[in-house]
Structure 1
Amino acid sequence: MYKSFWHLINGVGLSSRSMVAVMGIQKHLITVMLVILLLGANASCFAQPISKSVDDGKITENSYLFLLPYFLGNGETGIYFAYSYDGLKFQWLSDRDLIVPAPKWGDESLTRDPSILYHDGIFHMIWTTSWNSRSIGYTSSKDLRNWTEPKQINIWRERNDVNNTWAPELHWNPEQKEFLILWSSTTLAELNDGDHSEDQHGYDHRSYYSSTKDFKRFTSPKLFYSPQDPEYSVIDPFIAHDDRGTKTKKDDRWVMVIKHELAADKGGKNLRLTFAKKMLGPYGTTLGKPIVGAGTAIVNQMSEGPTLFQHQGQWHLYWDAPGSEYSYCLATSDDLETWKNRSAELDLPVGQMRHGTVLKVPLSAVPSINQ
Structure 2
Amino acid sequence: MTLKEIFIAFAFLFFLNVASAQKSNDVYMFSYFMGNGEDGLHLAYSYDGLKWDALKNNQSFLTPQVGIDKLMRDPCIISGPDGKFHMVWTVSWGEKGIGYASSEDLVHWSEQKYIPVMEHEPTARNCWAPEVFYDGDSKQYLIFWSTTIPGRFPETESGGDSGYNHRMYCVVTEDFKNFSDTKLLYDQGFNVIDGTLIKAKNKYVLFLKNETRTPPEKNIRIATSKKLAEGYSRASEPITGDYWAEGPTSVKIGQYWIVYFDKYTDHNMGAIRSDDMENWEDISEMINFPEGTRHGTVFKVSNKVLNKLK
Deviation at 1:194, TM superposition (A): 5.1
Deviation at 1:141, TM superposition (A): 0.9
Counterpart of 1:355? 295
Q: 1:344 aligns to what SS in structure 2? A: helix
How many residue pairs were aligned? 295
Deviation at 1:358, TM superposition (A): 1.0
Contact 1:44-1:85 within 8 A present in 2 as well: no
* Residue identity in the other structure for 1:164: N
Contact 2:45-2:52 within 8 A present in 1 as well: yes
Match runs of 1:217-366 below 5 Å: 217-227=178-188, 231-243=189-201, 252-263=202-213, 266-284=215-233, 286-292=234-240, 296=241, 300-324=242-266, 327-351=268-292, 353-363=293-303, 366=305
RMSD: 2.5
* Residue identity in the other structure for 1:316: I
Matched, 1:214 2:156: no
Match runs of 1:125-140 below 5 Å: 125-140=87-102
* Residue identity in the other structure for 2:222: L
Q: Distance in 2 between matches of 1:180 and 1:152?
A: 16
Q: Percent identity?
A: 35
**Pair member with larger Rg:** 1
Q: Distance in 2 between matches of 1:63 and 1:237?
A: 29
Deviation at 1:68, TM superposition (A): 0.9
Contact 2:66-2:91 within 8 A present in 1 as well: no
Contact 1:257-1:306 within 8 A present in 2 as well: yes
Structure 2 spans left out of the alignment, 5+ residues: 1-14
Q: 1:49 aligns to what SS in structure 2? A: helix
Match runs of 1:1-371 below 5 Å: 47-49=19-21, 63-103=25-65, 105=67, 107-119=68-80, 120-191=82-153, 193=154, 196=157, 198-227=159-188, 231-243=189-201, 252-263=202-213, 266-284=215-233, 286-292=234-240, 296=241, 300-324=242-266, 327-351=268-292, 353-363=293-303, 366=305, 368=307
Deviation at 1:189, TM superposition (A): 4.0
Residue-by-residue CA offset, 1:309-346 (whole Å, 9 max, x unaligned): 32212111010111316x21111111222211111211
Does the C-alpha gap of structure 1 residues 145 and 259 become closer, same or farther in structure 2, counting only changes over 3 Å? same
Deviation at 1:139, TM superposition (A): 1.2
Q: Distance in 2 between matches of 1:212 and 1:195?
A: 31
More divergent stretch after superposition (149-158 vs 120-129): 149-158
Q: Distance in 2 between matches of 1:130 and 1:332?
A: 32
Q: Distance in 2 between matches of 1:124 and 1:253?
A: 23
Q: Distance in 2 between matches of 1:103 and 1:212?
A: 23
Does the C-alpha gap of structure 1 residues 369 and 174 become closer, same or farther in structure 2, counting only changes over 3 Å? same
Segments of 4+ moved more than 6 angstroms: 43-46
